[in-house]
Structure 1
Amino acid sequence: MLASLWAAGVGLAHWETQVALPGELTRGAPVIVEGEAERVDRFEGTTRVRLAVARAGPPSGPLAPVRFRMNLSLRGEPPPLLPGQRVRAETKLMPAAPPSNPGEKDFGAARRRQGVAFTGGLDSRRLLVLSPAPAWRVALEDTRIRLAAAVHAVSPSKDAAALFLTLAAGQRAALDDSWEEAFSRAGLAHVLSVSGLHVAALALMTLAVLRRLVVRTGERWRMLDARQVAAPAAVPFVWAYVVFTDNQPPAVRSAVMATVVLLGLALWRRADGLNGLAAAAVVLVAWAPSSVADLSLRLSFLAVFGLVLLSPPLRQALPLAEPDPAESRRVHRWWGQAKETVAQTLCASAAATLAGLPIVAATFGRVSLAGLISNVVALPLCGLLTGLAAGGAALFIVTPSLATPLLWAGAWASELLLVITRLFAAAPLASVEVPSLGLLSALYAAGLLTWALGTGRWRLGGLLAPAAVAAAMLAPVLTPRPGLRVTFLSVGQGDSVVVSSGGEHLLVDGGGVPGGMDTAERFILPYLKQAGISRLALAVLSHPHPDHALGLASALKQVPTARLWMPAGDGGGPLSRQVAAAAGPALVEEVEVGHPPLRLGEATLEVLGPPGPDARELLEGVNDRSVVLLVRHGDVTVLLTGDVEAEGEAELAERLGPVTVMKAPHHGSRTSSTETLLERTRPRHVVFCVGRRNRYGFPHAEVEARYRALGSECWRTDLHGAVTVESDGQDVRLLPFLPSEPSPAAVPVARTAHPSPP
């Protein structure tokens, strides 16, 4: 039933997310869009609006009916805007770019699953609001704003207030990103959104409170069991909390299941876990088919599936006797019940972890071990915090002054939960890296199901699960590796190169934009994790410009390195100091031509630039004083040129001969790649590290044509994504991450007899 409902959801989601776009609308060209705001998320300095576009057209023409969704980023202070309002804006339809590097998250795929086909941006002052917000939306938003102010007024810290508001009003965006990492390491990531845990805790607490009220009302209800009255009365409270916290799919799933359980109690019928899960699936497929691909919802369903099927056999496997209900000694009875509660919580945590492991491993590349214990410690506090959040919000709506004690207690409970999270996140082996199981996920699932549902010898099939994990972990070790691998990462308009040989690794530069995204977090660290690189033998800052230094500094804060090379004569500027500080205890050396070669696995690194002090003084630009490296592996040579330009190339050319692969100097600028350098090096392959639609127009057309005239094979990170060079010491092959696209600067030229890349 669950499998068929999932298939139905996928089919309906495909229909729901179809794009109907007139042919005259050109992607990337200015366009007028008009539609209804479905979601409004406010961040510091920007606002993101999910827009269901109903009409669109060119700025000078009429608007035609269309059907698609897009994300609008509003810069500056936006006008008052709530979901349900109709707006008009002039923007550009920009399709999401695919991931360009191994390990990089595919944000575009997630948006497409939600029906978001394009993104766009504009100044918030140019957004035209066409209709007022529904009255209930205005009241709800006003209540949330006043609630946030009241919580901040009594909270011990900004983070505690943000966590409490996440549970009380669904305002997760207010929580700092660093806490998401801490909660993930501690195995408490489910706390950061209104999920099944919170809704289930609220349902149980509401049922208990209403049941006690029914019992105390006297003779009127004596003919009925108190549960038959309290259970259906608790249902509206559960759904009110879900609506107030913005109808998050995992919360809807849990609310449906809670409704099934509560109505079952009223009818004296036992609720079945799998039937409740199937009922939730029916509601979600009908309400929001695209939610079947939502990561949090998939993990939520798998967690419940694990609780239903895996928790009982896990509890049976524990060598701990169940408490004796006939125990007459009160202290012993309480102690037995406490041990059983801990055992049940431990088994539930393990069941949820095991059930979701394939998806967690594929998405995050690690699994939290701390979660097995942290949930035992934190779950009682989470239940209390949910009651305080829901109760405080409900009482605040009725009378804000009486809600203050609950808000104060909830804020301090949130602070305590943050302390617990920080302690577990800092514990050794809080989380362990786990490779993606891929096709082995089917073997893993078969093992879990066989062990959970089988009897006798059939339970031995459970060994398939650890066997699948072991095979996934051994696969990278057993896979033959090339003697040298050089990967030119696509980090936007900047450089970042990873060199690996014989189990040792080098990182040259890291991209970066002042005030822009963290290129290390977005591109470099995911690649290093995917490649199994946790430590560097050497890091190199070619020269202290932001598009080389910022991402390197960010990466070195999380990946230790034994050595750091920097250009001699740099003078210790602020960017250089930032990189050196991030490298921590690494041996920092200023290098220039003549520096002793360094062995990196099977390869050798030779320093060819910057030149010595006398020649360096004659070079005016920082680019010309870049660290230039020649990576030599047998007969194969890879030249990493930094950003040297004409003057630096003239100094460099004297020390060079033909090379196999060269990184184009200064991103293919017309101020570099001189005829002299190209005649001396005659590279078989050249890689341009450039950003998509960069404002400099790199690589310049005449420079690319110059390489092609030599017969060099041209590769571009804006078109090909990350470009990987693999060498066996005699020849190379180049592997683009993205399917090959024709270069806009490509022209037919005579080709030399060089081997073509695969």
Structure 2
Amino acid sequence: MQIITGVVLPRQHIDRARSTLSRMTMGVSAWLWGQHTRFVLWLPALLAAGMAMYFTLSWEPSAAWAWGAGMMVVGCVAARLVWGHGLLVRLGCGVVGACAAGALLAWVQAHRMPPFPDLPRRAVHLSGRVLDADGRALRDGAWAWRVRLADVRFLDGINTGMPPLRRALVLSLLPDDACVPVSGDTVLARVMLSPPAFPALPGGHDVQRRAWFDGRAGTARALDRVTCGHGHPPSARIASMRQALAQRIRAALPGTRGDIAATVLVGADGAIPARVRDAFADAGLAHLLAVAGLHLAIVMGLVMAAVRMGLTLSERAALFWPCRQIAAVCALLAGGGYVLVTGAHLPALRSLFMAMLAVVALVAGRRVVSMRALAVAVVILLCLDAENVAELSLQMSAAAVMALIAGFDALRPGLSAWEHDMAWWRRLGARCAHPLLASILAGSACIPVGMAHFGTVQPWFVLANLLAVPLMSVWIMPWGLLSFVLMLPGWEKLALVPMGWGIAVVDWLARQVSWLPGAHIGVPAIGNGGLALFFAGLCWLCLWGGRVRLLGFAPVALALLSPWWAARPGVMVSPDARMVGVTVGHTILTGPGAHPDPFVLREWQRVTGLDAGTLPDNGRQGVLSCQDRTCRVREPDGDVVVVLSPRQPGWVSCRDARLVVNLSGQAGCPGVPLIGRFDIWRNGAYALLPDHAGGVMVRTDRQARGARPWVMRPGGAGVPDLPMAEAE
């Protein structure tokens, strides 16, 4: 019996395991077949995943790789058409084909952009055509114009007579310049040029990649007053009209109220002082100062309501005309005009495109706000510009809208029951719950995105938005739209003054909330991997049906905790070798000098979530000790020596050193690895991180980004703007 039992029992266990596995497989298959109508909703997520994988590579795929990806897409489509009845074929072809298509789209768009030009390193005269212009309020309260130039020609030296640049150039004018540029003008200026900046930290924000896809060559700073030659294209009339409207608005509403009103009505977003922007950002109200989806939705909603109410005043129109569809089309036209008046910025254009899809759905009798409409909009936006996958505006919009749709779909039965309940307090509670839930859902979905891009959390955003957004919808924007009508007879002040009252309330609310304890909490930024994990969890939560969707909370929680698990850089070196940062406790100590580069320091603080300080000239602080412009950072395997002066480090400084960082030259310690000025010039920013063995791991920007089309050569060198030889 024992022998028989010993033989039979294992077979029973095997059969039982096979049966359990079969039941699990059948259960998963049945669940997936029940969700098959939602498979298409994953298309934008998979496209974005393919694009993100392309951008995270440290090497540039060849044309053969792109050809292979294209064949993979064709093969997946063919397999889906021929053997599309099988579940594995559907899932496999969908996932592989969509990811390959996303990577291929990103590769094609990256390689059709013109190369970065080699900008002169000296003061140079240039001429260019103004594409657009906007005024900026500087930190000291001064006002300066910033213009984007096309067809730029350099008028000095070897560049004389060369073809114009194939990329645009962003020119900042002097604060006291009398020139008022508008679109279509020709500008002559003497400037200093700068290529797109290198990342301040390995793996940090990539300005060069954004400039590559935006078609920008770099930035220019005017050294003297510029000369403007006014043109007369149609776009110039629109720009002149925007500037005239902004002046009339500020004349009726002086001060901060006029600046905010000009921002939301004509898109003069650079006019708002920095202190006001900071207060709105700390209160979680920064989206009120950026003309995008919220403002467009308010404008279109107001116009649609007004047109529909006007049509219902006619009995014939109310009975026989499609009033709802007519009002929706009128609202779309009004939204297009609003986007045009506010400067047609990219976030507003994206919102207008999504609004157009909503109007088409309404006219066709389909559901206006749905996951399918959002999926179509995101797919088209990603196909138009693959770099959108890394852009803040699209990430926040997609996360907020997805959370709103899925959240209200899940809560609709309970809200509907309360709305039709006999008790008045339940009906009132259901009405009040809508704006509160909208603020919680959209704001919560945007928290991880804000952590990734800004390294901050605003915990009071629900309170601020709960009061400010309704005020913007029912008071500020209606008076603003009425002011456009009253500008024809010159009576705009009748509408702008009440609008200013509402703006004053929102401004006061932003300042009060920003002063609350913990209104602005600096946290380590979520990395690219953590952000991808968050969006994977959010998509799982919002795109599936049933209780299985709750599993998406796990990756979302892991993404929120990921910044505290990642290793924090101990020493950071800027890409221009002019600045070093040492992490001591909860502070980044920077040097040399007491005035660090604000852009580099802001990026370091964003990534680490730490406060800023200054390296001591002499003394000790935690693991750091400095003497005679040489600092030592104690490590378990040996000290890191940071040399801030051009002289050779002494033998005392070299004792127990395992690595030397010299910002001023190539002098180091005998037999000790050196990171010198030439190394920094060649490899970009450096970060020294602790490894698992207790030592120091060196990471460079060149290692993190590799050789990509948008990664400029050392020193920011590009392709010379000269006629090429036939071999070149």
TM-score (norm. length: structure 1): 0.67
Task: Tell me which amino acid in the other structure corresponds to 2:256.
Answer: D
Using a 3 Å threshold, how does the CA distance of structure 1 residues 532 and 103 change in structure 2: closer, same or farther?
Answer: farther
Q: Work out whether 1:522 is the aligned partner of 2:599.
A: yes
- Matching residue within 490, 498, 503 for 2:574: 490
Describe the superposition over 1:53-97 as per-residue Cα deviations: whole angstroms up to 9, x where unpaired: 366676454222552222223335153321233445565653223
1:41 and 1:47 in contact (8 A); partners too: yes
DSSP 3-state at the match of 1:79: coil
Equivalent residue of 2:231, what SS? coil
Task: Pick one of 676, 697, 705 that aligns with 1:715.
Answer: 676
Match of 1:663 in 2: 643
CA contact (8 A) 1:160 1:411 kept: yes
Partner of 1:53: 151
What secondary structure sits across from 2:173 in the alignment? Answer: strand
Secondary structure, aligned partner of 1:101: coil
Aligned to 2:404: 307
Instruction: Judge conservation of contact 2:279–2:511 (CA < 8 Å) in 1.
Output: yes
In structure 1, the residue matched to 2:169 is 70
**SS of the residue aligned with 2:211?**
helix
Shift of 1:48: 2.3
In structure 2, distance between residues paired with 1:725 and 1:293: 26
Q: Residue in 2 aligned with 1:297?
A: 394
Q: Which runs of 5+ in 2 are unaligned?
A: 1-42, 49-101, 137-141, 704-711, 716-728
Question: 1:423 aligns to what?
Answer: 512
Partner of residue 273, structure 1:
370
Q: Distance in 1 between matches of 2:204 and 2:699?
A: 15
Aligned to 1:119: 219
Task: Give yes or no for contact 1:2–1:278 (8 Å, CA) kept in 2.
Answer: yes
Gaps of 5+ in 1: 543-566, 568-590, 592-597, 609-625, 639-660, 691-698, 745-758
Q: Give the structure 1 partner of residue 484 of structure 2.
A: 394
Displacement of 1:202: 1.4
Alpha-carbon distance between aligned partners in 2 of 1:455 and 1:220, rounded to the nearest angstrom: 41
Per-residue deviation, 1:416: 0.7
Matched with 1:579 is none
**Is 1:343 aligned to residue 433 of structure 2?**
yes
Listed as ranges, the matches of 1:537-556 within 5 Å are 541-542=616-617
Relative to structure 1, the CA distance from residue 509 to residue 707 in structure 2 (aligned partners, 3 Å threshold; closer, same or farther) is closer
Mapped partners of 1:39, 1:284: distance in 2: 23
AA at the equivalent of 2:167: F
Could you say what secondary structure the match of 2:169 adopts?
strand
Letter in 2 for 1:507: L
Q: Deviations over 1:368-426 (max 9, x none)?
A: 3322332222221121355336414522442221x212111111211111111222223
Equivalent of 1:42 in 135, 144, 149: 135
CA–CA distance in 2 between the matches of 1:497 and 1:290? 30
Q: 1:224-373 to 2 correspondence within 5 Å?
A: 224-262=321-359, 264-266=361-363, 268-277=365-374, 280-281=377-378, 294-313=391-410, 322-325=417-420, 327=422, 333=424, 335-373=425-463
Q: Indicate how the Cα distance of structure 1 residues 211 and 431 shifts in structure 2: closer, same or farther if over 3 A, else same.
A: same
* 1:523 CA drift (Å): 2.8
Alignment-derived partner of residue 210 in structure 1 = 307
2:589 counterpart (507, 528, 532):
507
CA drift at 1:467: 3.9
Distance in 1, matches of 2:538 and 2:561, equals: 16
1:185 aligns with 2:285: no
Could you tell which deviates more after superposition, 440-449 or 240-249? 440-449
Contact 2:198–2:575 (8 Å) recurs in 1: no
Matches within 5 A, 1:312-711: 312-313=409-410, 322-325=417-420, 327=422, 333=424, 335-385=425-475, 387-388=477-478, 390-401=480-491, 403-430=492-519, 432=521, 433=523, 435-436=525-526, 438-469=528-559, 471-476=561-566, 487=571, 489-490=573-574, 496-500=580-584, 503=585, 507=589, 509=591, 511=593, 519=597, 521-533=598-610, 541-542=616-617, 600=622, 603=623, 636=638, 661-665=641-645, 668=646, 678=650, 681=653, 686-689=660-663, 699=665, 704=666
Q: Does 1:101 align with 2:201?
A: yes
The alpha-carbon deviation at position 338 of structure 1 amounts to: 4.0
Counterpart contact for 1:719–1:738, Cα < 8 Å: no
Match of 1:574 in 2: none
- In 2: Cα distance, 1:743 partner to 1:324 partner: 64
Residue 195 (structure 1) aligned to one of 284, 292, 297: 292
Q: 1:17 aligns with which of 113, 119, 135?
A: 113
Secondary structure at the counterpart of residue 132 of structure 1: coil
Task: Specify whether residues 446 and 393 from structure 1 end up closer, same or farther in structure 2 by C-alpha distance, changes over 3 A only.
Answer: same
* Residue aligned with 1:307, SS: helix
Q: Deviations over 1:442-466 (max 9, x none)?
A: 4433433433344555234233234
Distance 1:97 1:446, change over 3 A: closer
Counterpart of 1:132 in structure 2 is 231
Q: Secondary structure at the match of 2:434?
A: helix
| CA deviation after TM superposition for structure 1 residue 17, in Å | 3.5
Q: Is the 8 A contact 1:304 1:352 kept in 2?
A: yes
Residues 386/261 of structure 1: CA separation in 2 closer, same or farther (3 Å cut)? farther
In 1: Cα distance, 2:239 partner to 2:119 partner:
37
Report the 3-state secondary structure (helix = DSSP H, G, I; strand = E; otherwise coil) of the residue aligned with 1:310. helix
CA distance in 1, matches of 2:524, 2:579: 29
Q: Structure 1 residues 722, 493: closer, same or farther in 2, change over 3 A?
A: closer
In structure 1, what is the Cα distance between the partners aligned to 2:542 and 2:386?
30
State the partner residue of 2:258: 161
For the 8 Å contact 1:510–1:524, the answer to whether it is kept is no
Does structure 2 conserve the Cα–Cα contact (< 8 Å) formed by 1:69 and 1:115? yes
Q: Structure 1 residues 233, 453: closer, same or farther in 2, change over 3 A?
A: closer
Structure 1 residues 118 and 218, CA gap change in structure 2 (3 angstroms): same
Q: Note the C-alpha offset of 1:167.
A: 0.5
Q: CA deviation at 1:150?
A: 3.5
Evaluate the alpha carbon distance shift between residue 108 and residue 236 of structure 1 in structure 2; reply closer, same or farther with a 3 A threshold: same
Tell me which of the two structures has the higher relative contact order, counting C-alpha pairs closer than 8 angstroms and 6 or more residues apart.
Answer: 2
Secondary structure, counterpart of 1:271 in structure 2: coil
Q: Say if 1:635 and 1:731, in contact at 8 Å, map to a contact too.
A: yes
Distance 1:431 1:686, change over 3 A: closer
TM-score of the superposition, structure 2-length normalised?
A: 0.70
Partner of 1:735: 698
For residue 245 of structure 2, what is the aligned residue in structure 1? 147
| Cα pair distance change 1:145/1:505, threshold 3 Å | closer
Structure 1 vs Structure 2: percent identity of aligned residues?
23
Which residue pairs with 1:557 in the alignment? none
Q: CA deviation at 1:38?
A: 1.9
Counterpart residue type for residue 50 of structure 1? R
Structure number with the higher helix fraction is 2
Query: Aligned pair in 2 of structure 1 residues 279, 440: CA closer, same or farther (>3 Å)?
Result: closer
Distance change (3 Å), C-alpha of 1:599 and 1:135: closer
- Per the alignment, residue 30 of structure 2 pairs with none
Q: Report the CA distance between 1:725 and its aligned residue.
A: 5.7
Worse-superposed segment, 277-286 or 164-173: 277-286
CA distance 1:495–1:256, change in 2 (3 Å): closer
Contact 1:447 1:465 in 2 (8 A): yes
How much does 1:132 deviate?
A: 0.5
Matched, 1:176 2:242: no
* Residue in structure 1 matched with residue 74 of structure 2 by the alignment: none
Give the CA deviation at 1:313. 2.1
Distance 1:540 1:711 in 2: 24
What count of residue pairs does the alignment treat as equivalent?
Answer: 599
Secondary structure of 2:177's counterpart equals coil
AA matched with 1:133? H
Q: Using the TM superposition, give the Cα deviation of residue 174 of structure 1 relative to its aligned residue in structure 2, in angstroms.
A: 0.6
- CA-to-partner distance for each residue in 1:612-656, whole Å, 9 max, x for gaps? xxxxxxxxxxxxxx7876666678456xxxxxxxxxxxxxxxxxx
